[in-house]
A = this chain, B = another copy of it.
Amino acid sequence: MAVGFALLILTGAVLLTLPISASDGKSVGFLDALFTSTSAVCVTGLVVVDTGTRYSLFGQIVIMCLIQMGGLGIMTMTTTVFLLLGKKITLRERMVMQEALNQSTLSGLVKLSRNILITTLIFEGTGAALLALRFSQIYGPTRGIYYGIFHAVSAFNNAGFDVIGNFKSLTQFAEDPLINCVIMGLIIFGGLGFSVIQDIIARKKFKHFSLHSKVVIVTTLLLLVSGFLAFYAIERSNPYTLGGLSRKGKILAAAFQSVTPRTAGFNTISITDLKMPSKYLTILLMYIGASPASTGGGIKTSTFAVIIMMIYTILVSKEDVEISGRRIPYDNIFKAAVIGVIALLLIFTSSFILTITENTDFMSILFETTSAFGTVGLSLGLTPNLTDIGKVVIILTMFAGRVGPLTLAMALGGRTNKAMIRFPEERVLVG
């Protein structure tokens, strides 16, 4: 699986190294092409060169295809892995997926992939059409349609790449309701995960949803609302971000800022000019990320929710971790804790190396590393100025952040044999 991703990245890197991929016919060089390709396949969106101006139309379409393959690939594979490796969600969840499971594995897989593909195309198609309406008014029909398609693909796959130019992302559309709402919608649905979208379509009523869908939806809503309120409160009077906008613009931009760290990576206001608490909060949101079996990254909303419920359970001296009348199994809780800690160790290791190789402030380093791990793509401006070692570190972090959790899930899925001989128990004092 990791090998497949690596091959796709390498192919992309070779294509992007070609002179035909560059806007001025001069190759961007292999390291920068590798960085771009990794960022696209891992749907991260961190860029060392500006996508809109440095790459030709050919290069941009290569990037769009890499995003689509990376996004679809991860969504299909995670959904498959969770279904096939015995990590089924519940009997209920399985019933929704029964088309895919009641048949032979291969044909079931084909059906599942087709369903995911169709869902993706419906969302991206609708999004692209709506975006094209607006972009056509600004850039004319041809460019408008192309921009519509590119940004719809980039948004639904939580890639965060843009072709507007000059590293500006969507800042000039900060007050545009249509573009903001469409992009936010695509990001949110892309980040919910296929099984949750299926649940919403098939069951309609919240109380009939699987526990997983309930946890994902509630956690996502809580994060979005609290993020919005916090960004609005902190940045309202900051002249470099929300301060200069109209009342409506302030609300739109604060909402967008709470959506994008999970884990889209577009921005409508200047990330560099955010106040320190906002940057810090963004780091936390990027770490948490989107939901499992989606196009987004991070440790995932459900992982975060299980960890929080684990703490709550311990604090109120309860025996079981219970959510919505269901008990979460021990191995499930463990896995959540392990994913949370491994993510932290990865972020620590990468940012530790960057504190040695890069000459910048600590916040920028931690922000950029978390962004790379969570495949977010937001940046305080460090990425375009990275040293070569720094680029390699960020490339590896993006890759680990993308394929790491899935590989872990696969490894954990296979754990069924109990050890024959177990050692005697002995406890150590902790805390």
Interface segment among A33-41, A54-62, A312-320, A384-392: the answer is: A312-320
A210 to chain B: closest residue by CB: B426
Closest chain B CB from A216 CB (angstroms): 8
A312 to chain B: closest residue by CB: B338
A429 to chain B: closest residue by CB: B292
Query: Across the interface, do B428 and A408 meet the contact criterion of CB distance under 8 Å?
Result: no
Query: Across the interface, do A430 and B303 meet the contact criterion of CB distance under 8 Å?
Result: yes
Main secondary structure of the interface of A (DSSP, over half): helix
- The CA-CA distance from A274 to B392 in the complex, in Å, is 26
Q: Which of these, B215, B328, B423, contacts A322 with CB under 8 Å?
A: B423
Contacts of A366 in B (CB 8 A): 362
Contact with B along A82-95 (1 / 0, CB 8 A): 10000101100000
- Count copies of this chain in the complex: 2
Counting CB contacts under 8 A, is A334 at the interface? yes
A330 to chain B: closest residue by CB: B330
Most buried by B among A291, A328, A361, A362: A362
Counting CB contacts under 8 A, is A400 at the interface? no
Query: Across the interface, do A340 and B339 meet the contact criterion of CB distance under 8 Å?
Result: no
Contacts of A284 in B (CB 8 A): 348
Query: Across the interface, do A320 and B429 meet the contact criterion of CB distance under 8 Å?
Result: no
- The CA-CA distance from A345 to B310 in the complex, in Å, is 13
- The CA-CA distance from A276 to B362 in the complex, in Å, is 8
Interface segment among A116-124, A199-207, A247-255, A409-417: the answer is: A409-417
Contacts of A158 in B (CB 8 A): none
Query: Across the interface, do B319 and A427 meet the contact criterion of CB distance under 8 Å?
Result: no
299-347 of chain A: CB within 8 A of chain B:
299-300, 302-303, 305-307, 310-311, 314-315, 317-320, 322-323, 325-330, 332-342, 344-345
Contact with B along A358-370 (1 / 0, CB 8 A): 0001110010000
Query: Across the interface, do B431 and A335 meet the contact criterion of CB distance under 8 Å?
Result: yes
Most buried by B among A210, A299, A342, A423: A423
Q: Which of these, B90, B291, B422, contacts A327 with CB under 8 Å?
A: B422
Contact with B along A214-236 (1 / 0, CB 8 A): 01100000000000000000100
Contacts of A303 in B (CB 8 A): 430-431
A353 to chain B: closest residue by CB: B277
Contact with B along A10-43 (1 / 0, CB 8 A): 0000000000000000000000000000000000
Query: Across the interface, do A428 and B305 meet the contact criterion of CB distance under 8 Å?
Result: yes
Contacts of A330 in B (CB 8 A): 330
- The CA-CA distance from A291 to B335 in the complex, in Å, is 26
Closest chain B CB from A104 CB (angstroms): 24
Counting CB contacts under 8 A, is A139 at the interface? no
Q: Which of these, B193, B234, B342, B427, contacts A311 with CB under 8 Å?
A: B342
Contacts of A193 in B (CB 8 A): 429
Contact with B along A275-291 (1 / 0, CB 8 A): 11101110010000001
Q: Which of these, B82, B89, B306, B419, contacts A319 with CB under 8 Å?
A: B419
Query: Across the interface, do A426 and B326 meet the contact criterion of CB distance under 8 Å?
Result: yes
Counting CB contacts under 8 A, is A351 at the interface? yes
Query: Across the interface, do A339 and B431 meet the contact criterion of CB distance under 8 Å?
Result: yes
Q: Which of these, B211, B320, B335, B348, contacts A430 with CB under 8 Å?
A: B335
Q: Which of these, B90, B335, B344, contacts A426 with CB under 8 Å?
A: B90
* Residue contacts A-B, CB under 8 angstroms, 8 given: A211-B428, A280-B351, A306-B430, A314-B411, A317-B414, A328-B425, A332-B428, A332-B430
Given contacts A276-B362, A306-B430, 4 further A-B contacts (CB under 8 A): A279-B362, A319-B417, A320-B419, A327-B424
